[in-house]
Chain A
Amino acid sequence: MNTDYGAATAVRARRPAEQNGPVAVFDGVSKRFGRLLAVDGLSLELRKGETVALLGPNGAGKSTSLDMLLALRKPTSGAIRMFGTDPYLAVKEGRVGAMLQSGGLMPEVTVRELVTLVTSLHPDPEPVVETIRRAGLEGFKDQRVDKLSGGQTQRVRFALAICGKAELIVLDEPTVAMDVETRRLFWDSMKQEVADGRTVLFATHYLEEADQAADRILVINRGRLLADGTPAQIKARAGAKRLSFRLDGIDETFLLGLPGLASLEIHNDVVRIQSRDSDASLYALLRAGYRPREIEITSLGLEQAFLAITDEDNKKAN
């Protein structure tokens, strides 16, 4: 199945000294556009073999951060290193492949011609047939690039991101315009890239996707990093479970003192609690002699966790 080990080993052997260093480092990076501070003191580190989701609402600074990582824009302050060197050099050495929302395709040529062209512009590329297979372009490789559907165009852009056999793959909202089936195929091919030892960084606002595909999630809002952890840790941070029940004679002060409590909502006799430890919250309630009715305990999805984290941040700003 995997024919690339020989070549991958050769790449590693060529760069032995950097093998254990981080793939990319942001050190206090800010970017200002006029009066807008798009990225505000971002510091983070990507490690080899990780699949990292950059999660944030529109305008959070995701695309700007990726642009700076790829040396398309210069930070206003702070520094970015990729593979221990300047990002521009890392790009020119073919060590990073990217699929950008703003990245376009050359029109008037066929899919195969375009992939062949871009492949030949990389120093140590994947064979064209292999890229076409991995990106799933067989069905339309002889069609003209400007005559493709949205989902097909995305797959071609993905092909251009992987054809250089880069060590780091950067994807900005990769599955926009893909239908459910294409999206599933896309993440399958992505897993193959990770299995080959590559590092993947993708920006998304599909929370479900970040939850399923990433093993680490970076939540950013208003240009700042709010949370950095596994999907489970992110969910836990915002209060992992939702506990709801009906209760007569509510004592709000007592409820606020419950162990593990992250947030509390009361509507008449209905109480909704987000708790980091729903068992402890419930036991404390029962021990105090309360007898709540219609108890429901549900897991918070990543979406609620994400909203909780960004809401908290937005409230601080106002």
Chain B
Amino acid sequence: MNGTLILAKAEIGRLWRNKRYFLFTLLIPVVLYLAVGKTKSTAYGTSFGVVYMIAMGTMGAFSGALNGNAIRISQEKKDGWIRQLRLTALPASSYVVAKIIASMATTVPSVVIVLLLGRFYGGIHLPAGHWLVIAVTMWFGATIFAALAVAIGYRFAPDQAQPVTMIVYFAFAVLGGLWFPLGGVMQKIGEGLPTYAVVRICSDVVSGASVPAYLVAALIAWLAVFAALATLAVRTTAESI
């Protein structure tokens, strides 16, 4: 098997055993959805239950991609594990690629479990195609945060990476409308964020409204920005690792 995939598999194994990771990616979104998901209300032109299901699934996955990586990368850089890996036959980029592959795999359960809860506990019925589109959108929108986590992890020492990650997490979760649907001024602020774009694209798909192209463009633009930040952080720190 390819070395990068071997490393990715080991990373997935580690995340699987990590209790903190489970708490943020699965337990919190599931508990919140069970507690609030059946509220009778509307948001973004569809039922509140649908929006909240999308928001919780996205939040778990996004939190896994961001919190699961940023502080660990920072710590592993400080401890010299990245340095040790550079002494193997692995190409220099493998460490980052393996982290991203591991994120792509470990964010899937957050999305799938919350959507299953929505279907069987929340009683949400959607055409099969809609389930698929929203699942992929949620997963993609959350996973781009793995690139931002790489940027934070390489740029900051562990004691700084911790608060930076928390600030970024709260900003994107609250302003993007993952905790509660946005309205008024808050919506104007949050509209540019990828977390908002994910929830809005998915709720528009469900409500049958046409998805504005700028939301899709925004998601891709954020991916480009995060990837550029990550590449820059990795390049500029190469001599100090």
Contacts and interface: CB of A to CB of B under 8 A. Distances in A.
Interface of A: 70-74, 91-94, 96-98, 100, 102-109, 113, 117-118, 120-123, 157, 160, 164
Q: Which secondary structure characterizes the binding site on chain B?
A: helix
B88 A121 contact: yes
A76 B238 CA distance: 15
Contact of B89 (A72, A98, A121): A121
B88 A118 contact: yes
21 contacts: A72-B241, A74-B239, A92-B89, A94-B89, A97-B87, A100-B87, A102-B83, A103-B87, A104-B76, A104-B78, A104-B82, A104-B83, A104-B84, A106-B76, A107-B79, A109-B10, A109-B14, A117-B6, A121-B6, A121-B90, A160-B84
A123 B89 contact: yes
Contact of B84 (A103, A122, A123): A103
B214 interface: no
Interface size range of chain B in the complex: 20 to 34
Contacts, number: 77
Nearest to B80: A104
B10 A113 contact: yes
Given A108-B17, A113-B10, A117-B7, A103 B89 contact: no
| B13, B18, B87, B89: residue with the most chain A Cβ atoms closer than 10 Å | B87
B79 A104 contact: yes
A106 B89 CA distance: 17
B86 A120 contact: no
Given A98-B87, A104-B83, A118-B84, 9 more contacts: A92-B89, A93-B89, A100-B83, A102-B80, A104-B76, A104-B84, A105-B84, A106-B10, A117-B7
Contacts of A105: 79, 81, 84
B104 to A, nearest CB: 20
Contacts of B239: 73-74
- Majority secondary structure of chain A interface residues (helix, strand, loop or mixed): loop
A100 B80 contact: yes
Nearest to B6: A120
Given A117-B7, A120-B3, A108 B87 contact: no
A108 B3 contact: no
B83 A72 contact: yes
A100 B84 contact: yes
Contacts of A121: 3, 6-7, 85, 88-90
Quick one: which of A91, A96, A120 has the most chain B CB within 10 A? A120
A72 B13 contact: no
A142 to B, nearest CB: 15
Contacts of A157: 84
Interface in B169-208: none
Nearest to A73: B239
A157 B10 CA distance: 18
B25 to A, nearest CB: 16
A109 B72 CA distance: 14
Contacts of B91: 92
B7 to A, nearest CB: 7
B5 to A, nearest CB: 10
A94 B3 CA distance: 13
Interchain residue pairs A-B with the least CB separation, the first 6: A104-B79, A104-B80, A121-B88, A104-B81, A103-B84, A102-B80
Contacts of A113: 10, 13
A160 B90 CA distance: 14
Nearest to A123: B89
A97 to B, nearest CB: 7
B65 to A, nearest CB: 18
Nearest to A163: B88
A118 B89 CA distance: 10
A120 B78 CA distance: 24
Contacts of A106: 10, 14, 76, 81
